[in-house]
Amino acid sequence: DAGITQSPRHKVTETGTPVTLRCHQTENHRYMYWYRQDPGHGLRLIHYSYGVKDTDKGEVSDGYSVSRSKTEDFLLTLESATSSQTSVYFCAISGLGTQPQHFGDGTRLSIL
Partner 1 sequence: DQQVKQNSPSLSVQEGRISILNCDYTNSMFDYFLWYKKYPAEGPTFLISISSIKDKNEDGRFTVFLNKSAKHLSLHIVPSQPGDSAVYFCAANSGGSNYKLTFGKGTLLTVNP
Binding footprint of partner 1 on the chain (CB under 8 A) = 4, 31, 33, 35, 40-45, 48, 50, 58-59, 90, 92, 94, 97-106
Q: What are φ and ψ of residue 29, in 5° steps?
A: -80, 150
Shortest distance, position 9 Cβ to partner 1, whole Å: 9
Burial of 12 (0-12, 13-18, 19+ CB in 10 A): exposed
- To partner 1, the closest distance from the beta carbon of 16 in angstroms equals 28
CB of 15 vs partner 1, minimal distance in Å: 25
In the complex, what is the shortest distance from the CB of residue 83 to partner 1, in angstroms, rounded to a whole number?
Answer: 22
How far is the C-alpha of 95 from the C-alpha of 98, rounded, in Å? 8
Query: CA 54 to CA 38: how far, in whole Å?
Result: 27
Nearer to partner 1 by Cβ, of 6 and 85: the residue is 6
Residue with Cβ nearer partner 1 (12 or 15): 12
